[in-house]
Structure formats: C-alpha cells, structure tokens
A and B are shown apart, each in its own frame.
Chain A
Amino acid sequence: MSRRIIVEPRGLAPWWLKLLIPVASVIAALALGALFLMMTGNDWVEVYKKMADTAFGSGRGFAETLVSATPLILTGVAAAIAFKMLVWNIGGEGQLMFGAIAAAGVGIWLGGGTPPIIAITAVVLAGAIGGAFWASLSAVPKVYLGTNEIITTLMLNFIALNLMQYLVLGSFSPWRDPEATQFPQGRPIIDNARIPEFFHRLDWGLFIAIFVAVLAWFVISKTRSGFEYRIVGDSFNTARYAGIRVPKKILGTFLLSGASAGLAGSILVAGILGKMDPRSLDLGLGFTGIIVAALARLNPIAIIPVAILMGALNNAGPALQSIGVPTATVKILQGAILIFAVAGEFLIGNRFRRPRESVEEKPEPAKEASAA
C-alpha cells in the first residue's frame, strides 16, 4: 500500500497563480532571510524595518530606490527579450559597460555648446548602439557559425570590464580625467549632455527605462514583427515553416537586447554618474537584470515593479551597516528570491494530484513519486 502523488503537466495556469508565485517567492525568501538573521544573532524585525525604512520610508529614500531600479529595468528587459527567444544572452554586464564607454566617449567629444536636447539624445543613443555592438560580437558568430552565446557573452563581460578599467585606471585615454590628481577618475561629460534630475537624485532616465519596457511589451504583443518574434520563440521549425527568416530574427533580437543593456550604461553615465566611473558601473547590474527578468516571468511590464523591488534591496544594503549587519545580506535575499521563483515556475507548469482510486495498479510505477 502506498500513497502516491502524481505530478503531471498543467494545462492553462490560472492568472492568480502566475501572480501568487512571484509574491510567495519574495515572502519565502524574506522568511529564509529572517531565519538566517536569527541564526547570526540579529533581530530580524529590526533589520527588515531598517531596510523598509531606507528604501521606502522617505521621499529621498524612495528616489534612491528608483535610481537603483532604473538600470535594472533596462538590463531586465535585455535579458527577458533574449531569453524568450531562447537566446541566452548573459552578457548584459558587458553590454552595459561598453554602452557606458560609448556614451561617455560621445559626451566627452561633443562641444560644450551643443544644445541639451541634441547632446542628451546623442549620448543616450551612443550607449544603445555601443551595447548592440558589443552584443553583435556574440550574435553574429552565433547566427552564422553556431557558436554558443552563453560562453561568448560571458567572456565578453570580462573584456568589457577590463577595457573600461584600462581606459580610466590604466592609461591616459580621453576617458580619464586629466585633472584628477589623487586617484584616477573618469573625465566628466559635458554638462549639456547630463539628464536633468527632477526629484532628489532621480532623473528622467527612469522614464526612458519605463518607456523601453512598455515599448518592448507593445512591440511583442501588438505588432507584426512581435508576432513573428513570438512564433520564433515558440518553435524554430514552425517559424521556418511559416516563412519567417529565423536567423535574421534571432540576430535582431540579440542586438536589441544588447541595446537595452547598453542604454542602462548610457543612462548611468548621462544621469547620476556624469562620467564613466568604473567602480559605479561594476555592480553586477547585468546579472541582477537576469534575476529581474526571471522573477517577472519574462514579461516586460512586470519587470518594472520587480526592478523596483530589487532596487529597494540594493538601496537598503549599505544602510544595514549602521546597525552592524553586512551589506551582503541583500545579496542573500536576492539569490533566495530567484531560487524560490524558479522553483515556483515548476508549480505554474505542473500540478500534483492523487491517483484516482479505481485506476488499476500499473506494474511499473517508474515516473511517480512514491511516499509510502
């Protein structure tokens, strides 16, 4: 006699489940985090209170949360649109950095008298183009030679990081500030290329990021090109059968993914940083974007609130030090959220049920979890 549970694929998951799973993932991660804090001798209530207070407790705090969220929206979109087409672009990190290099380059090269609207547009677009270019180094070999993009995008992350550090820390390139006497710094871009702030340190880059997320959603669900994208993402064979040129579509998606990550770099350079600062651009924003995309179930609109949540965690981290808790606590929470979200994905795709009593016993219960 055994009590068995059958796991079987689910048809259509109800909408509330799709919402419940990410929310439950966050709650479960917080519970796990509380356990960890208790084990390390901290008052978890106090820690969470401190975090909530830092991230949302004041206008200034909330502005900082949104500042942290802005690049995450863009790197999240970058990961989501690529992953949905089974393009494993994990090079958001490098594409962001090369976008920043390109944006800062343009922002330094432009004459100081360039009108703001032109200067900002040029710098922001330079970042998108730079990111797309960096992605193309992986995309073109993937599409035409069949190389594995996971490996190439990952390796290019390190190349972009070292290139960025070399330009500022290791050489006297135009990106390095000649007036910095103590520690090498990035050369500031022209003032007219800076994106204006409107609420504490928060600048209009947030709206560019939100616009990109909404645009991605609109293109995917409302346009012909987006329909083709959905078909390719569902089945390469079917797409070919329907007359869609699959390699071209993959190449285009990969480049747009890179452009979105590159845009994150240029918005940082033209926004809060004002220069290419290697330390401020090496925070793992590309990788956190992957978490954001996964938690948002690759839905561009859902990326916005998820990025704000992740931004809040990033923002709250440093404040924990004042109560003697390591900043890395937020990394644990972010990691735990991802693990719970991915595990929850299984529940969206499958369901558990008891076997019906009348069904005759099969001789080989190979695929059933036995709980005797």
Chain B
Amino acid sequence: MPDQDQSSATPAVELRNIDKSFYGVFANADVDFSLAKGEVHALLGENGAGKSTLCSVMAGLYRPDSGEMLFDGKPMVFKSPKDAYAAGVGMVYQHFRLVSNLTVAENLALGNPEVGLRLSQGQLEAEAKELGERYDFPVDPSARIWQLSVGQQQRVEILKLLYRDAKILILDEPTAVLTPQEGEALFRAMRMLADEGRSLIFVSHKLQEVKAVSDRVTVLREGRVVGAANTDDAEPRDLARMMVGKDLVLPTRKPNESVGDEVLVIEDLVVEDDRGLDAVDGLSISVRAGEVVGIAGVSGNGQRELAQGIVGLMKVKSGSVRLNGTDVTKKSVLAKIKSGIAYVPQSRLGMGLAPGLTTEDNLALKQYREPPYSNGPLLSAAAFGRRGAELIEEFDVRGVRPGLPIRLLSGGNLQKALIAREVVQDHSVLIARSPTRGLDVGATADVRDHILAERDRGIAVLLISEDLDELLALSDRLVVIYEGRIVGEMPASEATAERLGLLMSGEREDQSA
C-alpha cells in the first residue's frame, strides 16, 4: 500500500495519562500507551497489573477517571462499548460474550446496526463462511455456539469483530483457553489481520507468545506502564524483571530449623480441568513437617486443579497423593478431612464458608460430626455456642452478632473465621490458596502469623498463590508451576524477580542463562 507510511504516522490509538480506580484502588494510573497501525502490540504483566482494565477502557466498557484517548488522532469519549464499536474498536473478552443457543451466523448479526429487522439466514451464513475462509478460520456458520469447542467459540468472537470491520482488535488473554495448535492458528490469523493494516492488542503473561507474535511490547505493573520496547530488541530477562518489578523483599525470618519428615508426597499427579484438559500434568512435589512450600505461577496454570485434586474435590486422573506414608489419592473429601488435610480455598464465600449460616455454624463446618458438636444424631446447640465463642475470641473475629449470616462480615473477619476452623481440627497438612487475597494490611498480617504458627508447630503447609509478596513472606521453598508442571524450584532466600518472572512466563531457566 503506497500511503502506508504516511497514514501509519498517526497512531491507531493513543492514550495519555489514563487513570482508572475502583473503590479508591488504582487499576490504571497515569498510563500512556500508543498502538501503531498494522502492528501487533503485546501487553505484558502479572495478574492484577491492570491489563484487562486498560483494555476495557479502550473498548468503552469502563470510562477512565481522567486522561485522554485519541483514536486515529481524534480525541474520543466512549459512553458504552457501542461507541467503541462505531469507532472501529472491538474486544474479545476472557469470558466470551456469545449467545449459546444461537448459531454462529446469528451471533455475528447480533447487535449489528447494519442488520435490519429482517434476517436472511442464508445470506448471513454465506457471509460468515466467506469471512472465516478469508482468515483461514473455518467455522460452521450454522452450528450453534454450545456445540463448538472453546477455541472455535473464540474464532466466532474474532469473526464478530471482523464482521463489523473493526480496525482495532483487543484480545484479552486469548491463548489462556487454547490448545497449542489452536494458539498457532490464532497467531497466523493475527499476523494476517495486522498485514491488512488492522491493529491488534494482545494480552498475555507468556513471554514466548509475546516473542512469537508481537511487534512491540508494553509492560504493566501495578497499574502503571513500566516499559515499552520493540519486541525484537527486548530481552526476555529484561521483560521478566520489569513484569515482576521492584526488588523482591526476601524473607528475613529464619527458616524453620526443625523440618521433619515428608508428610505430603505427590507423585506424577494428573488432574483434568472442567474442559477435560490435563490442567495438572504430571506434577510431583513433597512437603515436610514444619515447612511452607510456596507454589508460584500465573493463575490458570493448574493451581485450582492441584488444590482440589489433593483435597478430593476434583478427580485425580493418575498419579498419587500420600499423606504420612498412606496413599489417600482416591479417598473421598470426608475421608481426606479425617485423615488430616486442612484446606483454605481461594473463594471464601463461594466454597470455604456457607454464606447464609451463622459464624458459629460455619466454625463447626468440618467437625460437627463429632462430639461435642454432635451427640449421636443430635446436635448440641450449647456446644456450637460455646465453641464458637471461644474461637471468635481466640482468633479475634469481629462483627459477629447472634443469628447474623456470616456473609455480612468483612473479608478479613471471614478469613480469620475460616482459618480458625481449619487449624483447630486435627491435621498434619494445610493447603492454602491465596489466603491474604483482598485483605487489608492488618488482616493480612494476622493471617500470615497464623500460617507461620502452623509451620512452627510442625504442620506441612502448601501455599498456592499468585501473589509473590505473599509467597516470599511465608515460604521456605518456592516452586514455580507453568501449564500444570513444575518448571523451577528454589529456596525462598534465593529468589530473584528475573528468575521468577522468567519461570512464570514459561521460559526455561537454561534459555535465560
């Protein structure tokens, strides 16, 4: 194209000093960003770095608190995603926006102002088919969405944008749901779209993917832009360091001197996720008494399946879980509780607590089967009250009133109640997932103290988290998982931002050396 050079001088998108906060917490602060025409621009960053928020701002879903947005050099204010569509901006969200009972062609037509009142099914399908073939993205236009695989559904999302001739396509972690083969196909299509002069924003945590597909890369951390570079010039280790950022606060406390025998031993564990893919893919690890082993990794790399596989909530496909030498792999959730596995799940009100029951009831959730709570088939209301009051006092759970459903407590108090219940039962292993997530400073400190107290009394603690501060504050040993496998292991005292960042982004250590 002859005028390519001239027109590409004006960026497709330019953001200046974008701020966006939620309830007083900054998701984006002072973000400058520019997207050139015809480029694939990667946004790189950890969980919670503000990538999705920034994308949603560009797609009109959120309005920035302040700052300027220029599209093709013209300042724009989007009141809704509809305005963004009109300006040629489209986004594929992590959670698809498709109507599962409608066909592919119908989904393409949905909400498109150019489609009139009368639908011509045949014409729609022909268009959808033609569009798919042009980008080597074949989908059956008459198939209903629920019949398609996740990868195919994603193609429909992209076709939806192309059907409206979007010039700027934002793909929020598109590869997270794809198989490697589907990922390859996506990258080919992305290149093709860029070659046509469209601009693409590609969100990822994976350095390899960023290297493979993008022209430029911008790194976000804690809502701010911390670096931008041409992808070819960027060293993976530099990107990793930028992503993880600040100098890590390495643990100052002494590791536990009296580390005991192996308590929890996991060998070649394979656990399938809801889609039937091996989310935990041959993972082996052991935790000793009096040791905190931290599992680091970007979310969605098998953390949920690992935890739920160990405690029996998800089926273990192969491999074994041994507890104090006894094989408990196939045991029921109840049998595992009784054999001594305590579990602090990630979702407090979604799993760890019964939101509509009282605090006292929730404190008994794992032990109500035994005295003093139960007396044969009958419950002892007195024991619920007495034991509840003791734990509420000891663990400083505040805001409890008689008859009050526990869901009305604050996050910190919920977590204190949950941990109280888990640590007072007989157990030798504690599995905790992101236990301080969303808590304020005081509650975070309390929860950390409880976990370290567990370690000091000889419990084997497996801490699964996406928060490096939390992992470094608590772990004796760090293990990094990527796509369900262990890719690196180190004592917490030897962790560096660069090393963790590379491992979490899927770079092998030997490559980065």
Contact = CB atoms under 8 A, between A and B. Distances in A.
B350 A12 contact: no
Interface in B284-339: 311, 313, 332-337
Given A11-B408, A12-B405, A234-B354, A242 B366 contact: yes
B405 A241 contact: no
A171 interface: no
Contact of B313 (A12, A226, A241): A241
A223 B357 contact: no
B379 A241 contact: no
Nearest to B404: A12
B374 A241 contact: no
Given A12-B404, A241-B333, A243-B334, A227 B361 contact: yes
A14 B351 CA distance: 28
A231 B378 contact: no
B355 interface: yes
A354 interface: no
Contacts of A249: none
B379 A227 contact: yes
B345 A224 contact: no
B379 A222 contact: yes
Interface string B398-432: 00010111001000000000000000000000000
A361 to B, nearest CB: 14
A237 B356 contact: no
Interface in B329-374: 332-337, 343, 345, 347, 350-357, 361, 364-366, 368-369, 374
B116 interface: no
A223 B384 CA distance: 12
Contacts of A231: 354, 357, 365
Contact of B333 (A225, A230, A243): A243
A351 interface: no
Q: Looking at B354, B381, B403, which has the most chain A CB atoms within 10 Å of its CB?
A: B354
A312 B361 CA distance: 39
B91 to A, nearest CB: 20
A363 B313 CA distance: 44
Secondary structure call for the A interface: helix
Given A12-B408, A231-B357, A234-B356, A241 B378 contact: no
Contacts of B368: 224, 227
B377 A225 contact: yes
A232 to B, nearest CB: 9
A230 B343 CA distance: 21
A238 B365 contact: yes
B450 interface: no
Given A238-B352, A238-B365, A243 B63 contact: no
B160 to A, nearest CB: 25
A16 to B, nearest CB: 14
A235 interface: yes
Nearest to B402: A12
Given A224-B368, A243-B333, A234 B357 contact: yes
A230 B361 CA distance: 10
Contact of B369 (A11, A224, A230): A224
A44 B106 CA distance: 55
Contacts of B356: 234-235
A240 interface: yes
Given A237-B350, A240-B333, A243-B332, A223 B378 contact: yes
A127 B196 CA distance: 74
B468 to A, nearest CB: 27
A139 B55 CA distance: 46
Nearest to B356: A234
Q: Say which size band chain B's interface belongs to.
A: 35 or more
Q: Residue among A222, A223, A234, A243 with the most chain B CB within 10 A?
A: A243
A273 B408 CA distance: 51
Contacts of B405: 12
A327 B313 CA distance: 55
Interface footprint category on A: 20 to 34
Contacts of B377: 223-225
A223 B368 CA distance: 10
Contacts of A242: 333, 337, 365-366
Contacts of B364: 227
Taking each of B357, B364, B403, B405, which has the highest tally of chain A beta carbons within 10 Å of its own beta carbon?
B357
Contacts of B311: 241
B355 A241 contact: no
A223 to B, nearest CB: 5
A364 B62 CA distance: 11
A84 B350 CA distance: 18
Given A238-B365, A242-B366, A12 B351 contact: no
Contacts of B334: 243-245
A230 B365 CA distance: 11
B404 A238 contact: no
B338 to A, nearest CB: 8
A12 B356 CA distance: 11
A76 B405 CA distance: 26
Contacts of A363: 63
A243 B379 contact: no
Contacts of A225: 377
Interface string A36-74: 000000000000000000000000000000000000000
A239 B354 CA distance: 8
A224 B379 contact: yes
A11 B404 contact: yes
A223 B375 CA distance: 9
A231 B352 CA distance: 12
Given A12-B401, A224-B368, A231-B365, A238 B353 contact: yes
Contact of A235 (B343, B354, B401): B354
A223 B313 CA distance: 26
Interface in B200-253: none
B378 A237 contact: no
Contact of B357 (A230, A240, A243): A230
Contacts of A240: 313, 333
Contacts of A241: 311, 313, 333, 343, 345, 351-352
Contacts of A238: 350-355, 365
A222 B378 contact: yes
Nearest to B401: A12
Interface in A213-233: 222-227, 230-231
A139 to B, nearest CB: 22
A364 B368 CA distance: 47
B61 to A, nearest CB: 12
13 contacts: A12-B408, A223-B377, A224-B368, A231-B357, A234-B354, A234-B357, A235-B350, A238-B351, A238-B353, A238-B365, A241-B311, A241-B343, A243-B336
Q: Which 4 A-B pairs have the closest CB atoms?
A: A243-B334, A234-B354, A234-B356, A243-B333
Given A235-B351, A238-B351, A241-B333, 9 more contacts: A12-B403, A226-B379, A227-B368, A234-B357, A241-B345, A242-B333, A243-B335, A243-B337, A244-B334
